[in-house]
Each structure stands twice: as C-alpha cells, then as structure tokens.
C-alpha cells in the first residue's frame, strides 16, 4: 500500500513538472490570463487604483520579462539581482518592458495589508513599472506554476517564450537573460 501511494505521489509530481515545462516551452505563447480581482496598479495624481490586467495588456511589439513572485519578503531578494542588472542596462521603456505579477494568495496570513502597501510604495517610486497584484492565483493557475516559487519569463516581441528560470539566479543566469534581451533588441533594430 505504501509503495503504491509513493508511486502515485511521484506520478503526480512528474505530471506537475510536465505541465510547467509545457507552459514555458521555447517559442510557445504564454497563455493569456485575465486578472480582474485587484490587477494592475495604476497611479494618477498620487492616487493608486487597480485595473484588470492580462498578458495581452503588455506593450505590443517589444520584448519583455515577466517576474511571477509570491507575496513574501524573501521574493525581493530573489529578484533584486535581476532588477538591479536591468536598471544598470537602462533599456528604453519603449523598447523593453518589465512586468511583475505578485501572487497575493502566497502572502503569509495577516500580511496582505503590508504587501498591498509595499506594492503601492513601489508603484509610486517607479510609476513606469508594470506591477500586477493577483488576488486569485489566476496567473499561477493559467501558467501552471508552483505556489511560493519565483519565476523569470523572457518573451520576444510577439510574446513567445524565449527563456525562463525558476528560483534564485546565479550571475551566469542573469547574464544569459541580458544577452537574450540584447539579441532581441538588435533584431528589432535590424528589421
């Protein structure tokens, strides 16, 4: 009995990893999702509001990186090296877009208000940033992601997956992303 339970658990884990790999298959489109419970943070005259968001809302015709993160303080330390590197590159807003989708369902109990406050603070600090509050795990479910995990997803100008990474990145991983972004921008310049 124990062996069959273990085999079933292993099969389910394998199936879960297959769906995740399929969601990020190179050249595939990232499945669209509509996040209408919370959504994209917008700022107008220092007032924050929320608007429905989906990947189809992203800027058309330019490469983009999507950060999908759990609403936990530890997520910041995971994405900081990549966001710092992107800021150092200073890619033009009209040529490259960074999108952060925060899964609010992954917040620790009782911290939702703190998370919302931090998101609003970040939006005020970076009004050009695309920050999305997902209060229903819609992106996580649509993209076949695991709870409490951090994902980096690089899309080309047609919103097809170029490269992805789960979890903490090494410097070589970050440089691979930067190299791929520059290649996409060079292709756009050559066209």
Residue 87's domain is classified under what CATH number? Answer: 3.40.30.10
Place of tokens 């980096």: 152
Task: Estimate to the nearest angstrom the gap between the alpha carbon of 95 and the chain centroid.
Answer: 18
Q: What pLDDT, on the 0 to 100 scale, is given for residue 46?
A: 83
What's the predicted TM-score (pTM) here?
0.84
Helix 73-89 vs helix 171-190: crossing angle, to nearest 10: 40
pLDDT at 11 over 50: no
Inform me whether the pLDDT recorded for 17 exceeds 60.
no
> What's the total number of domains in the chain?
1
* Owning domain of residue 151: 2-190
Q: For the segment 106-116, what is each residue's pLDDT rounded down to a tens digit?
A: 887 877 778 88
């Amino acid at each position: 009995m124990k062996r069959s339970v273990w085999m079933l658990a292993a099969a389910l884990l394998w199936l879960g990893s297959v769906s995740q790999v399929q969601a990020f298959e190179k050249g595939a489109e990232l499945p669209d999702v509509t996040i209408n419970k919370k959504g994209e943070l917008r700022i107008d005259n220092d007032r924050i509001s929320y608007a429905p968001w989906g990947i189809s809302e992203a800027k058309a015709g330019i490469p983009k990186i999507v950060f999908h993160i759990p609403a936990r303080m530890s997520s910041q330390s995971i994405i900081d090296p990549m966001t710092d590197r992107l800021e150092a590159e200073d890619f033009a807003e009209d040529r490259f877009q960074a999108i952060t989708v925060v899964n609010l369902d992954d917040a620790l109990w009782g911290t939702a208000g703190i998370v919302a406050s931090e998101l609003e603070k970040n939006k005020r600090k970076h009004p050009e940033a695309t920050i999305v509050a997902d209060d229903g795990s819609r992106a996580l479910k649509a993209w076949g992601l695991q709870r409490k995990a951090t994902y980096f997803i690089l899309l080309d100008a047609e919103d097809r997956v170029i490269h992805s990474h789960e979890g903490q990145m090494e410097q070589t991983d970050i440089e691979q992303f930067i190299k791929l972004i520059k290649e996409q921008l060079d292709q756009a310049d050559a066209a």
